[in-house]
Chain A
Amino acid sequence: SQTIHQWPATLVQPVGSPLSLECTVEGTSNPNLYWYRQAAGRGLQLLFYSVGIGQISSEVPQNLSASRPQDRQFILSSKKLLLSDSGFYLCAWSVQGGLGAFFGQGTRLTVV
């Protein structure tokens, strides 16, 4: 069966510091991978998605970036965090062709 791992579970970072969140998927090949953010009291917002190694599509202009160095690894990064980057970050995967997405445990990021 497929599993998705995301870490860390919680993170407190000062403004201006860098960020690296990692996500890996097991039990499937060539998945679509996604980064979503859920801000307090708001819906999930798609940040990035990837349909293959090195292929990244950005949905929202921001100071975040994403990379996919391996088939089942997806990384979310920032060079300098802003207060507005606080939120619940969720990695997800789906099979090629869509049909819904499956989420990791999430990382709760607080920028102070």
Chain B
Amino acid sequence: QKEVEQNSGPLSVPEGAIASLNCTYSDRGSQSFFWYRQYSGKSPELIMSIYSNGDKEDGRFTAQLNKASQYVSLLIRDSQPSDSATYLCAVNEGNTGTASKLTFGTGTRLQVTL
């Protein structure tokens, strides 16, 4: 059973601070990793993808991947109230041909306080 684990939160951070969201996965064969943001009642929105060890930065977001430790994280700098949402970690299975069969964590709820 392939698993993706996230702390459900809520993670509360003050406006302007750095939010750090973490995710571990069980399948060592996983090849690609994604972070989705989901506002309450809405569908998930893809915000970051990462495929190789190290950091990937996009604006205020930085994704970090450590395949040896089977660990993915998302840093949000200068957190804003509009960042308050649930963040889902997703992992693409290896050896799936052309399909993107994603296994999702249950998400971490982030609250950015004024």
Contact = CB atoms under 8 A, between A and B. Distances in A.
Interface in A32-77: 32, 34, 41-46, 49, 51, 57, 59
A44 B104 contact: yes
A94 B100 contact: yes
A51 B44 contact: no
B88 A44 contact: yes
B34 A105 contact: no
Instruction: Report, as a range, how many residues of chain B touch the other chain.
Output: 20 to 34
A101 interface: yes
Contacts of A98: 31-32, 92, 96, 98-100
16 contacts: A32-B99, A32-B100, A44-B90, A46-B102, A46-B103, A49-B101, A51-B99, A90-B43, A94-B100, A98-B32, A98-B99, A100-B34, A100-B92, A101-B46, A103-B45, A105-B42
Interface of B: 4, 31-32, 34, 42-46, 49, 88, 90, 92, 96-107
